[in-house]
Chains A and B, each alone.
Chain A
Amino acid sequence: MKSDYLWDGSGEPDDTVAGLEKQLRPLKWTPGPLREGRRTVMASERAPWRLVIAATALIATATVGTLVYLGQTAAQTSWRLSGEDGSPSYLRRGQLVKTQPATKVTLFSEQTGRVILDGDTRLRVGGEERFGLEQGTMHALIWAPPAKFLVETPTVKAVDLGCEYTLTVAKDGSGFLTVEMGWVAFEARGLESFIPAGAACTTSRRRGPDTPHFLDARPDFVAAVGQFDRRHDIAALHRAVSEARSRDALTLWHLLRRTEGTERALVCDRLAQLVRLPDVASRDALLRGDAAALEGAWDALQLGDMKWWREWKRRWR
């Protein structure tokens, strides 16, 4: 029925409505980043502001398939984008770097690190040590001190803890991270995930950071943890716990903070089987969510260089 097409797009298309949709769809809102630092100039101030934008707007280094949009005249950063002719363009705060499909672009900062953007990626330069990945994939190798370099995505804030990693943001805002070296921390809505080298973590708009897992974990284990994250499926939690290897203690530790009551007891008991927990991390204390016990259990994971841990703010304390 034609009236259904107008209502929800189902049924036989109404030619007029379909034609109007096609004509008007280019006007549809496309979400850009919310720019806190930029206050739009109103009314009579608008014309000069527009002229500034028009005049300075598009630094198109099209030869490398990259467009850099200037939001406003702003402070230059140490990040540079090299053109094909070798001439560097220094990025400014607030700029949007947008790569064309099938193109890779390298951003480099002597004091912070190197970031390679895959094709079809949109990256906002928030500042010297703050980027916003709106869509696409970035490969980062960061040499700034741990916890200085941040990447904000639509779902989480990724804090570099001295490392190399690959972060992807899909069109729906969900994210996927793999860490090649060091650590990355995800933060959102009071939840944290700590992802070491060899591990991965997904993110979603609804949940924020999911539970991380090692890339060599059994597929059944990864699937069960994912199911628990998505649906809080208790049967899946049981499967994950029974499938867990010693190395999956990382995942179990994170599950401690995502469960309570009998579910937490289930996770806690399995963790105690896989890892030698210190006295401070007693069963009772872990079930209470005691901060010192959680830290003791974390230390027992023995996951290599953890110097950044001393600096970390540990939201559960």
Chain B
Amino acid sequence: MITQAIFNVIFGLFKLLLFWLPDVTALPTFLGVNLDTIFSTGMGYFNRIVYFFPPLASILTAALVYLGIKLTLTLLKMVLGHRAPHIT
């Protein structure tokens, strides 16, 4: 209950602070290109192909995991600068 109460307070504060910001329901249109439609349709095609050939989903997941970790290391290096570990 105590932990739950802390969570409730934190999330409540977030909501209070951000209430004036608009909700995002779709990606914006950029230079006449509706990014939301493009991404949605693209993922629709991809999911359709994945249904027929499931390994594609694993390949995409593997690529996203790899890029995600690389992105994390890159961000770490940007934030820490020269203090970043060599592995970044």
Physical interaction between A and B: no
